[in-house]
Structure 1
Amino acid sequence: MSSANPHPIFNIPNILTMTRIAAIPLLAGLLMSPSQPAGFWAAAVFALASITDWLDGYLARRMGIVTVFGKFLDPIADKLIVMAALIMILPFNRVPAWMVLVILGREIIITGLRGIASSEGIIIHASDLGKFKTIFQIVAIIGLLLHYNYNWLFGIQDPLLIVNMHNVGMFYLWIATLLTVWSGMDYLVRFVRVIVR
């Protein structure tokens, strides 16, 4: 935390994090409609928000302004926007409800365990599994938001060049779900090992 900053909450990384939270109502509003344009813009909003997730952490470390508020808010913002996207596409049958339950249940349980560990002065760092899980979730959700067939090669009319983004999203969501369970079990094991010492 920089002592030169009289308002440590209002720094660039934290503002980016708060912007990500502020984008959630816009994302939810766009996803009220199942139309292709709405899905496209929702995917764009989600992608930009995901970029800020990486950018705020990078800037906080680079600028030396890692704050307690930022450490608290950043993972909350990540989980909220993922939850919002998955919950909003449930009524359109774009994602199996059980997958959403597994993903959201894992996040709630791990957040609770982190809170318990933190209250005991214990920090259990995120593993690479958790990072890979997040990457696959992001890619999966972008695909599911796009949902429809897209031709990404400048409109060249060839059936082989048309990509069904829903199928792409589901492919990555299966991987994300497996990593969700795996990383959750990994964290639980590490939590138990630390707590029972």
Structure 2
Amino acid sequence: MAIEFNLPTNITLLRIALIPLLTVVFYLPWQYSNIACTIIFIIAGFTDWLDGYLARKMQMETPFGAFLDPVADKLMVAMVLVILVQQQASPYLAVPAAVIIGREITIASLREWMAEIGQRAKVKVSLLAKWKTASQMISIGLLLYREDLLGIPVNSMGYVLLYIAAILTLWSMVNYLKAALIAISKE
């Protein structure tokens, strides 16, 4: 099977290319690096929506694109959480970041295993997981920006949303694991 590089897949690859760019900008000794990182992260989030929309609209969905899209998301989230934890070294940030990264590894592995036994549909993306992703992405954007804005404690709001994301992360992981166990027990 040949790998097809079409517009949606190239947009996904752009999202992956934004990861090292965001990382370099994050560490630049520049007073606006937080704003630039937040913009890069927002662009990456937009490409996540755009590649899926275009793939469906233009009927360009491919197995490679379906594989690459969640990989790009997980790479971006994991990398940004790691650099944020390094910058704001605190167990209050490290614990939810570890929960989120650990869940992503666990569920990706679970999906791969379920696909191998022909039960991939049992662990498809749920609405709860979409809420988890939304709170996670907003929290990361706020934590990247980190400065108060019009008297609003942006960094603190980022922490709160990150904890909400971590709770939703655990909840969705439990749901996926239960669905997998039910599917396996029926075999």
TM-score by length of 1: 0.87
Cα distance change, pair 33–165 in 1 and its aligned pair in 2 (3 A): farther
Please tell me whether residue 119 in structure 1 is matched to residue 108 in structure 2.
Answer: no
Superposition CA RMSD, Å: 1.6
- Within 2, Cα distance between the matches of 1:121 and 1:22? 33
Q: Do the aligned residues in 2 keep the contact of 1:30 with 1:41 (CA within 8 Å)?
A: yes
Structure with the bigger percentage of helix: 2
1:128-170 CA-to-partner distances (Å, cap 9, x unmatched) read 010000000010000000001223xxxxxxxxxx222101211
Computing the radius of gyration from Cα coordinates, the structure with the larger value is 1
Shift of 1:58: 1.2
- Within 2, Cα distance between the matches of 1:119 and 1:166? 42
Please tell me whether residue 174 in structure 1 is matched to residue 163 in structure 2.
Answer: yes
The amino acid of 2:129's aligned partner reads: G
Which residue in 2 is equivalent to 1:29? 24
Which residue in 1 is equivalent to 2:86? 91
Matches within 5 A, 1:101-140: 101-123=98-120, 124-140=123-139
TM-score by length of 2: 0.91
Which residue in 2 is equivalent to 1:16? 11
Shift of 1:172: 1.0
| Matched residue SS, 1:163 | coil
- Within 1, Cα distance between the matches of 2:98 and 2:179? 23
1:45-70 CA-to-partner distances (Å, cap 9, x unmatched) read 01110111111111111111110101
| Matched residue SS, 1:47 | helix
Q: Do the aligned residues in 2 keep the contact of 1:36 with 1:146 (CA within 8 Å)?
A: no
Matches within 5 A, 1:177-196: 177-196=166-185
| Matched residue SS, 1:188 | helix
1:3-36 CA-to-partner distances (Å, cap 9, x unmatched) read xxxx862111101110000000001112224765
1:88-110 CA-to-partner distances (Å, cap 9, x unmatched) read 11122166211111110000000
Stretches of structure 1 that go unaligned for 5 or more consecutive residues are 1-6, 152-161
Q: Do the aligned residues in 1 keep the contact of 2:34 with 2:146 (CA within 8 Å)?
A: yes
Q: Do the aligned residues in 1 keep the contact of 2:93 with 2:159 (CA within 8 Å)?
A: no
- Within 2, Cα distance between the matches of 1:59 and 1:165? 33
